[in-house]
Amino acid sequence: IMYGRKEDRDMFEEAYTSIKQYMRRGRSECNKGVGLHPLYVNVAMDSGDTATNWIDSLQAAFPGVQVLHGDLEEAICHHALYYSIWRKYGCLPERYNWKLEAPDVKFYPLRPELIESTYLLYQATKNPFYLHVGKDILYSLNNHTRAECGYATVHDVDDMSLEDRQESFFLSETVKYLYLLFDLDNPINRKSNEYIFTTEGHILPLSERFHDS
């Protein structure tokens, strides 16, 4: 998207096709209800066999990538999986064992990935459901992680105990995407086709001057 190069698009298409072929598990169509959403698993490189029984919170960014690719229905279904986990705990455990339906790694360091995908889905669909998701996330952050000076990492999602730690990406990404989700008249939202976000939440202008002549 940034540079408009065909070879970049071809590499992405090849990678995305392989991901869908070898890493996707679940039903062929989206269904409502926990456990019925598509799941993307870690696989062995030489065989494509499932390698682990967990997914991690960083993967919640992938529905946003699917939005940008135009695979909107898959993005909606995939996002619903991570939101159902958020609803279960009030945040996303770092690793969630989909086989045991329980967290393997129980901390949540205020990561932005689910909020990022929520923002991109709202921009693509304008469905008010994603504003509801954002409000739910904001409520959880304010009621479970807010501290005397900032917001704190959740040490254990089962008891919502906290650590004296706030990662820098909370301000640069998590809060940024939440702000933009609700600031409907923000110039970035009104002219969203003129900007793109890096994986670290930096906002870059899209310009023909970045394209090959």
d(CA 124, CA 118): 10
- pTM value is 0.93
Residues of the chain with pLDDT under 50: 31-34
Give the catalytic positions in this structure. 94
Tell me the per-residue pLDDT of 198-208, one tens digit each, with 9 for 90 and over.
989 999 999 88
DSSP 8-class letter at 98: T
d(CA 78, CA 70): 14
Long-range contacts of 48-51 (CB under 8 A, 24+ apart): 48/22, 50/25
Tell me the per-residue pLDDT of 120-148, one tens digit each, with 9 for 90 and over.
999 999 999 999 999 999 999 999 999 99
pLDDT of the residue at 29 = 52
